[in-house]
Chains A and B, each alone.
Chain A
Amino acid sequence: MAVANAKVGVPAGAPSSHPQNSTLWTVLKYLGLALFNAFTLLLVYAFFRDENLGLAAVFLVIGVGMNTIFFVPSLYPLRWMSPGLALITLLVIYPIIYTVLTSFTNFGDGHRLPKSQAITQIERIGGFIIPEDAPRYSVVPYRNDAGTVALWLSNATETIFVPSGGAIQTITDPPAEPPADYDGYTQVPRRELLPTLREAQSLPFGDEDDVITVSGREAIRATIVPRFDYDEAQDAIIDRTDDTIYRANEKTGYFVGPNGRPLQNQPGYRVGVGLYNFERMISDPGLRGPLIDIFVWTVAFAFLSVLLTFIVGLAMALVMNDPRMPGRTIIRSLLIIPYAIPGVISIVVWRGMLNLNLGVITNVWNDLFGVRPGFLIDPWLAKFSILLVNTWLGYPYMMLICSGALQAIPSDVYEAAAVDGAKPWQRFWGITLPLLLVSVGPLLIASFTFNFNNYLLIEALTGADAPNIPNSPVPARYTDILISYTYNIAFGNRGSDYGYASAITIVIFLVVAVVTLMQYRFTKTWEQVGENV
């Protein structure tokens, strides 16, 4: 009670003494923290081992942060938001940093792994050399009831039997002909001979140091040697077949041979390439041309989408604003439906209706005018269709926010205007619109940023059908906006270039940041935050 009484004088919200000061509670708390720390450290070490310094660092930061919050009493309020802070750090802040870091690398197809892992991969699966003098055998395949293949191998010096995945058995005193049955295996009948041998080519026989390789009707037993070997002194990969030296090029992330060509059919590795991805954007005409077109279209698309949805939405709000309008509630509900339907569904429905050969709208157009417009295929018509569909999707939102804002405009302003003899049109331009823009302006800007990144609409509506911009080294389509362009560069069917995709993402970041800062300025958000908190 004494503690509680003492609290009265303390300003509200000062950290209060810790809840439930029982021993059990304390033990549980520290046990939980210990488990959390153990697991976090494990993750940090695991990522560190995988040469993933980024994620290792993030988890370290989160771990240290959580412990600080837990042990420093003055940070008590932060305990309440610790889950949120951890998630924001891991899934919002780190991805932004990681995007920036990736944009300075050549990360992508052919450069997926860090150097040491790429070397291991080249050594392990880069192919093998079989020594010239390795013993050869003639092969008779066997199979048991479980379907496992085994081989009876014989040559002038020895006869051996080896099941797939099993140990090599040397047969002393072999019979002149391979037996029909041996050790539970039955000799494969003649008509299955060739398919079985073909199957045996891809099966493992023997063990790592003593490998049996089937080729044709023959088998070779040898200690096989990896074809490629990394020489640390020279920092190069050596091809053992002809002793060519492929030196690591830290600028391009390739192992480069004496003829200046990178090691064929083998991966390169991830390196920092500085500003290369950004330079490419500007100096490579094949990239620059489409990028400029896409940038202009992205801005135009976002701007026109806001404009069109706002015009239609405002018009509907004005029409519905009249209290004498019959059935207002039901009409309003009907008009909101496009906004309520999940976006994917309605966009795909539009895609069906605008389909070149089967779509309802195209069919009607054909009946009326005798032509089938490529609503989603023609570069310009596709852009028009995108705007049309986006207007359909977005006007209800504008209608809702405009009706709210219209009702908030005090009616005496209109009365005063009527006194001064203002015509309805003048009242709209002089009073309604300016007052409306003050209140919905920030939302219009937010809508601009939303549409600037409206990947769903572009992908679901025009997706794979969209016409390609010719001669672009990376996938680019006429209807692409920056974010869908990024997506296709990173995950499209023409390979992955995460580095370049990240560089474009940074362009998006910059635009979004500038626009949003404008919005905050416009709404004086910063000042409000300063006053209200």
Chain B
Amino acid sequence: MSSTAKAPKHVHHESRMVQSGRERAVGLTLRLIVVGIAIVFALFPVLFIVLSAFNPAGQLSSGLSIPRVNEFSDLFNNFEALLVTELDIWPFWRWIANSFIVATTSTILTVLISALSAYAFSRFRFRGRRQMLLGILLVQVFPNLLALVALFLMMDQISALSRIIPQIFAFLQGSFLGFLADPGSWQWLNTFGLNSLGGLILIYLGGAMGVNTWLMKGFFDSIPRDIDESAHVDGATDWQIFWLLIFPLVRPVLAVVGVLAFVGTFNEFVLARLILRDTQNWTLMVGLFQFINADFNRDWGKFAAGALVSGIPVVIVYLSLQRQIVGGLTAGAVKG
């Protein structure tokens, strides 16, 4: 910049400074008003659910009224009904257990499967590598949620296996291999068909490799190759290098993928409702939904209690891991 240009800049700057004192005060007030409105908008439903949960009247029509109780313990009537007394109608703990089984299993397997793939993509150079990376990206375009009709039919067909396979072995009846013809020996196959947690986990795992592999590969690439090479020199196998050297180093990205997978499967509703048919097999989200769908008014308080019990842990996880979750979601651009 020439020296002549300097003067006007200075003048301009000063005039802005003069204005900005008042401007800033107005601006800040405006900002606070906007934020206030936004917080009311954001938290109004939360307030509603908290008040409903503690209101022993426990009906939708009780609305936003402050709970009136004679004894302090009455505040927890809804929780008691849901978690203790009415378990034979709505097995709430069972749902929680199912959700944890599904979420934990799919998380562990997702992390393992995608870490193995990411390691191969990051460390090996082979023919078709680029095409495969693109292929994964392309397959990702159609999350398996879209093909829900096909998935349902497939799961139904897999359920038929426990009936067909004993027929195949019918000729072995009476011999020492007779157990193969016994339908009882093949019942375990039903843990992967319709109305089973195994089937649901399988469906979730279908999406395990996609985005997660990309996310992890990026991180794996940032770990210097020298580490592997010196380990190779020392006679370590690829497996040892992966498991003992790289795996501990990539823990941050494993944690991100893990938390995303866990929260995603824990909250997943659409596929879970499609696959799980019996009350006993429902996950928490399916259970809560079916439970409130049965009678919207009468059970409102209990639903609210259940919503608090199941929602609070998830909210805490989200708030404490905000940055990582958002980082991961931006890569995948989906909310589970």
Contacts and interface: CB of A to CB of B under 8 A. Distances in A.
Interface in A357-381: 357-360, 363
Contacts of A351: 296
Nearest to B34: A319
Contacts of B304: 349
Interface stretch (A78-86, A188-196, A205-213): A78-86
A342 B116 contact: no
B154 to A, nearest CB: 7
Most-contacted residue by chain A among B130, B292, B297 (CB, 10 A): B292
Given A8-B229, A345-B288, A502-B149, A87 B161 contact: no
A47 interface: yes
B329 to A, nearest CB: 7
Nearest to A450: B334
Interface string A415-458: 00011010000000000000000000011001100100101100
Nearest to A85: B209
Given A45-B168, A96-B142, A13 B123 contact: yes
Interface stretch (B38-46, B70-78, B85-93): B38-46
B172 interface: no
A406 B293 CA distance: 42
Nearest to B231: A4
A420 to B, nearest CB: 9
A281 interface: no
Interface in B172-221: 202-203, 205-210, 213
Given A85-B209, A352-B60, A490-B152, A99 B123 contact: no
B240 A95 contact: no
Contacts of A11: 125
Contacts of B229: 7-8, 12
A509 B149 contact: no
Contacts of B117: 80-81, 84
Given A319-B34, A512-B142, A335 B311 contact: no
B42 A335 contact: yes
Among A18, A94, A360, A505, max chain B CB count under 10 A is at A360
Interface residues on A, range: 35 or more
Contacts of A340: 314-315, 317-319
Nearest to B133: A533
Contacts, number: 324
Contact of A337 (B46, B150, B303): B46
Contacts of A46: 161, 164-165, 168
B113 A83 contact: yes
B146 interface: yes
B225 interface: yes
Contacts of A483: 146, 148
A271 B307 CA distance: 46
B42 A392 contact: yes
A234 to B, nearest CB: 29
B120 A337 contact: no
A352 B296 contact: yes
B225 A12 contact: yes
Contacts of A463: 293
Interface residues of B, number: 116
A354 to B, nearest CB: 11
Interface string A1-36: 101110110011111111110000000000000000
Interface in B219-257: 225, 228-229, 232-235, 237-240
A351 B133 CA distance: 42
A357 B296 CA distance: 11
A461 B28 CA distance: 37
B288 A337 contact: no
Contacts of B121: 81, 533
Given A87-B209, A342-B311, A460-B289, 17 more contacts: A47-B161, A52-B160, A76-B124, A77-B129, A84-B208, A87-B206, A91-B144, A91-B202, A92-B139, A92-B142, A98-B154, A348-B307, A358-B296, A400-B326, A421-B12, A456-B270, A486-B148
Interface of B: 9, 12-13, 16, 24, 27-28, 31, 34-35, 38-39, 41-43, 45-46, 48-49, 59-61, 63-64, 112-114, 116-117, 119-121, 123-127, 129-130, 133-134, 136-137, 139, 141-154, 157-158, 160-161, 164-165, 167-168, 202-203, 205-210, 213, 225, 228-229, 232-235, 237-240, 266-267, 269-270, 274, 285, 288-289, 292-293, 296-297, 300, 303-304, 307, 310-311, 314-315, 317-319, 322, 326, 329-330, 333-335
